Amino acid sequence: MPLVRIDHGKQHPLGFGKAVGDIVYRAMIEEINVPADDKFQIISTHDGSELNIAPSYLGIEYSTGIVFIQVTLNAGRSFELKKKFYHRITDDLSAGLGMRPQDIFISLIEVAKENWSFGNGEMQYGPAA
């Protein structure tokens, strides 16, 4: 059910976005109980002028290597699960891809289950019609 959007600059090597996506997908399965094969990701690469951010926020200094990860998912996961999820992604991206933890920006968008259609114009998770 999660829909993941990954946005990064062109300075990253070819295949970088997919590698980020694979790490996020593994964290979703192992930390927030997403079922296997529930993988829907949109990966976009941008020119430097298309990522417009402040150099710092909340004491965090950003670089041009920043990556935005936005996950739309069903509502209901606990505060603690979300914290573990953020840490897992950051730890794995740092270890696996050498990313600076400061450049990993994660946003969750929680929606009700009836707000999904996975095809055929059907509401697979909604109440029976």
Active site residues: 2
Strand boundaries in the chain, DSSP class E: 3-9, 40-46, 56-57, 60-61, 67-74, 104-111
Q: Spell out where 48-98 has E strands.
A: 56-57, 60-61, 67-74
- The two structure tokens encoding residue 95: 């270890």
